[in-house]
Structure 1
């Protein structure tokens, strides 16, 4: 059995993580839709009331959005206006992409850091949600995980962009 090169192993691992995360996001969204439908049927039929369904829906959606944002950052498919990038030369577009990566990395790291500080504070006081008594650390952790994931992915993209830029410069 031949040892797989590190780059190929990391590539396979990345595809596996992305696939599992995509499936988890899809199943999570389906689960939230089912909770919402069951809650609506119960409420409007008068058969039952689902205490805390709104909390589950809001917190679940926050997690889905933040985990999905990591995938969007990885694909660079997040909301952007690329008119300037299209008007620039190839080198100018690459430079602008590096600048965007740096600003994104800084912003996401800044938000993740301050989010972690906030999570530590609410964990110390033991704050919970009103209906289900869910520790508020759970929904607030989605912000930390999402922005830390965006920072990590953006750092990897920045390194890949720099590597491509310098390897082209070396060949020129």
Structure 2
């Protein structure tokens, strides 16, 4: 059941990111062509792509966590004996989960405040809380992914791979 949920969530993350990349590229391309050849442009294009990139960064953080490709400093880790490495990985995992959960909670508070004030984006006039929703959604997904890795580390079944980017 949990494996199926993980597969569905992973697929949804991947499809969402690909969709954002494709639409952002297409919109920017159309906007450049419209400006260069027709001396006009899409008024909302730059704002829309900017907000797509915000979502891309936060959901991409979850994908990076899932694949184990987040940036990290491993020099100290490699200098430690295996039991100390495992303990350090567990401590780092706990800190990452806690940070992401805090970011998700405070992100939700920010979204609620923005929704209450009724702030809208400048060009498209969409509710700005939709853009800010990327913070708690992405941080929540990252917390989930870090928690998965932490569980596997505690169980002793987490596999580090040089080909993590291919997973």
With the length of structure 1 as denominator, give the TM-score of the two structures: 0.85
CA distance in 1, matches of 2:99, 2:44: 33
Residue 76 of structure 1: CA displacement? 2.1
Q: What is aligned with 1:137? A: 129
Is 1:95 the counterpart of 2:70? The answer is: no
Q: What is aligned with 1:27? A: 19
SS of residue in 2 equivalent to 1:69: helix
Describe how 1:91-130 pairs up with structure 2 within 5 A.
91-130=83-122
RMSD (Å) for aligned C-alpha atoms = 1.5
Q: What is aligned with 2:162? A: none
Is 1:52 the counterpart of 2:44? The answer is: yes
Query: Which of these two proteins has the greater Rg computed from alpha carbons?
Result: 1
With the length of structure 2 as denominator, give the TM-score of the two structures: 0.87
CA distance in 2, matches of 1:146, 1:20: 13
Moved more, 151-160 or 87-96: 151-160
Residue 47 of structure 1: CA displacement? 4.7
CA distance in 2, matches of 1:70, 1:102: 16
Match of 2:141 among 149, 157, 164: 149
How many residue pairs align between the two structures?
Answer: 157
CA distance in 2, matches of 1:120, 1:12: 32
CA distance in 1, matches of 2:138, 2:19: 18
Residue 32 of structure 1: CA displacement? 0.5
Q: Which runs of 5+ in 1 are unaligned?
A: 1-8, 166-172
Deviations 1:56-112 (A, max 9, x none): 110001111111111111222111111111121211111111111111111111111
Deviations 1:132-171 (A, max 9, x none): 0011011100011111111122122222222228xxxxxx
